[in-house]
Structure 1
Amino acid sequence: MNNYFSNFILFIFFFLFNIFIISILFLIISYLLLILCVPLLIFFERRLLGVFQLRLGLFIYFLNAFFIFIADFLKILSKFNVFLFSYNFILLFLFCLIFVIFSVISLLFLPFNFLNNNYFIFYLLFLILLSFIPFFFSVFIYFSNSIFSYIGNLRSILLLLSYELSLNFSIIILLLILKNYYFLISFYKFFVLIPIIFILFICFMSDASRVPFDLIEGESELVSGFNTELSLSLFLLVFFGEYILLFVFIIVIYLSSLNFLVSLFIFIYIRALLVRFFYLYIIKLFWYYYLFFLTFSFFFYYLI
């Protein structure tokens, strides 16, 4: 009897152990597939920008210039690291590596099922994650010891103070509206939901530092910021981390639907269509208009 019982315990143990191993392998494979989406996202962006800007070279070469994309990547790998005497290389490399790890961890906070009641917790964790992102760029700029990076750091902090309040406010209002089970009967509240989603989209673009809100690298005196001050390993780490965060933003903006190609197309189309906005206009946009409208929407939702 004891022999049967011990065999049964061993069977349960190995069964649970196999399930654990399969779950870990499935999680690793899923993360690798999501990380492999980053080069595809970059290639898709370059293809669309080539179409919008009428660069016919992308259509002449074999496989729609896919090998040109690979050649550019190999060209970056063939470069060598160039560091100024003012750089603190060890701390700079460490924080760039932490930024990439932090970006990969952000994939854990994606709420893929909005019918689940836990999506509110996922979004709160995502808000906490967003608040840490400018910290990495500020630390990177501090250890680069460059006056041009210092100007970009001041702009990023001021822009962060502008859009962070509107971003958090709009997400909280959106979650409170979606959590209301009587929302489907109140059709007039749907008109409040549309501009809030639009403001959320603008705030995400500002957080992702995409055109026309890439003011950290903006203006002629900054000379494209990270693209000229970094090389090889550091540039690849920052570039890879930024596109992982962009991938996360696109999924969150499209309300966690796997069919997020529309949102991806809008992101790339805006980059091809618009130029950088004037810095003062963006500050006024967030503080004078968006914040006032979100405050009005909050009282409109609860009082009417």
Structure 2
Amino acid sequence: MKAYIFPGQGAQFTGMGKDVYDNSELARSLFNRANEILGFDITKIMFEGSAEELKQTNVTQPAIFIHSVALFKSLGESAKPEMVAGHSLGEISALVANEVLSFEDALQLVSKRAQAMQKACESTPSTMAAILGLEDELVEAVCADVDGVVVAANYNCPGQLIISGELSAVEEACERLKERGAKRALILPVGGAFHSPLMEPAREELATAIENTTFNTPSCPIYQNVSTTAVSDPAEIKKNLLFQLTAPVKWTQSVQNMLADGATEFIEVGPGKVLQGLVKKVSRDAVTSSATV
């Protein structure tokens, strides 16, 4: 069974999507349509922008989505997913791949999501940090013992957990986790505390947009970050997508469930190869590849 997986924030790079744009007429039409929907030339930023420009949440999220979906659509009839998943933002790309959302509706949701998250980031000094080499349970216990908001945010693969929260609480947790034997406890260059309770204002803002968007019956199940299991009910997909903003990304558990349900190949669609590396850390025997036009 072929599982198509879609990356999230952090996969961006200058020049992203240019090869897809050059090699596919369909992709070019989607890039141009995206510029119209967003009201600015995001294609130019993707192809020529600096790392600093691409790092802004309101640019990063649409850019990764556009790259991923344009690439997927360019694969044509050869792309027949039997299951899909996306890491954080990538979940919306996955919902286009399994026909739950149209490209236009999904891009508008991505843009609103990015703006709402950016706003939430600006209201409280907050950050995320990568913790390597410790058991998930130990990281969770240390976070729970720190004053202030700091929680497990991304279960990326065994031995790699991202924490998220108020700046001072994340710094305190990092120090304590180093004392408990973490190989690394590294503050990440991100805009704020994604997938934590500090994103509650963004969740409230996005609720109306999601509620007013048409969610169709999927062509294949999606393994969502919140539930980690196969979901095919549009109402449940909608609910999980909203709660994802304040809940952790359970990528490890999602990959484990996809493997248990028969996934034989994981095809990463979008910029970079981060997800292939994470899948390999969940199962060394998993077959992975990058989609190319």
Q: State the TM-score, normalized to the length of structure 2.
A: 0.29
Q: State the TM-score, normalized to the length of structure 1.
A: 0.28
Which structure has the highest helix share of the two? 1
Which structure has the highest strand share of the two? 2
Structure label with greater radius of gyration? 1
